[in-house]
Amino acid sequence: MHRESPESNSSACAIDIRGLEFSYSRGFRIVVKRLTIAPEEQVLLAGPSGSGKSTLLHLIAGVEHPSKGSILIGGTDIVALRRGAQDRFRGNHVGMIFQTFNLLHGFSARENVEVPLMLAGHSASEQRQLALEALARLSIDAPDAPVDTLSVGQQQRVAVARAIAGGKRVVLADEPTASLDRANAAATVALIKEAAKRAGAALLMSSHDPEMREAFDRVVEIEEFTRGGARP
């Protein structure tokens, strides 16, 4: 399997990871010599449970910090940014969809979508406008309803709206289908792919389900990076 997209000029890539090394204190280790994802490319991050998929997504999202290497998002190395700048950069360019949505309970759909836009440095009026646009795109027509009053399907669409709001370069989705039956999993993947495409964002989605492969432009096996380290 080829690991590099045709364009590996870093500023032309949505994601360009080079020489990345990370390990938890318990010893689990990831080494990524090079991984590039082209703009708007839709890539499946495949591997069994415990193989490091969430760890890699957290590194790209800036939740975990590597001991070595660089992670360029649209040409900017997030590893080299200071903490505050990194948070703003992520808020502007990287959206993340979690398996359990991670919505803020007691807050409205709009407020949930506004939070990362606030962290990204948008004014209150921009937050509101971008949130309403994203929610409308995901067919949420009651943006001021508390998320707890929405159906599970609607909550999922709020989580997708949050990940694309403001026009992201990269959408990361961590096993968004793990708790769903086959029909709902397929519908969820279609929803996420469509939203990322319309937002002009690259999509990197993890799954331990081999059936997901066909829906993606390319499959990256996480175990290439975690079993015996990098290959040339």
Q: Which is nearer to ligand ADP, 27 or 232 (CB)?
A: 27
84 binds, among Mg ion, ligand ADP, none (CB under 5 to 8 A by kind): none
Taking CA atoms, 145 is separated from 45, 97, 107, 162, in Å, by 34, 20, 8, 15
Cβ at position 208, least distance to Mg ion in Å: 8
**H-assigned helices in the chain:** 53-61, 83-93, 109-119, 124-137, 152-164, 182-199, 223-226
CB of 105 to ligand ADP, least distance (A): 24
CB of 89 to ligand ADP, least distance (A): 23
Q: CB-wise, 108 or 188, nearer to ligand ADP?
A: 188
Identify the CA nearest to 47 among candidates 232, 204, 217, 183.
Answer: 204
52's contact among ligand ADP, Mg ion, none, with CB below 5 to 8 A by partner kind, is: ligand ADP
Which residues on adjacent β-strands are paired with residue 220?
Answer: 45
76-77/68-73 β-pairing: antiparallel
Selected binder of Mg ion within 51, 54, 188, 207 (CB under 5 A): 54
Question: Which H or E element spans position 22?
Answer: strand 15-23
At closest approach, how far in Å is the CB of 83 from ligand ADP? Answer: 19
Looking at residue 52, its amino acid is G
Give the residues lining the site for ligand ADP (CB under 6 A): 24, 26, 28, 47, 49-55
Residue 47 interacting entry, from Mg ion, ligand ADP, none, C-beta within 5 to 8 Å by type = ligand ADP
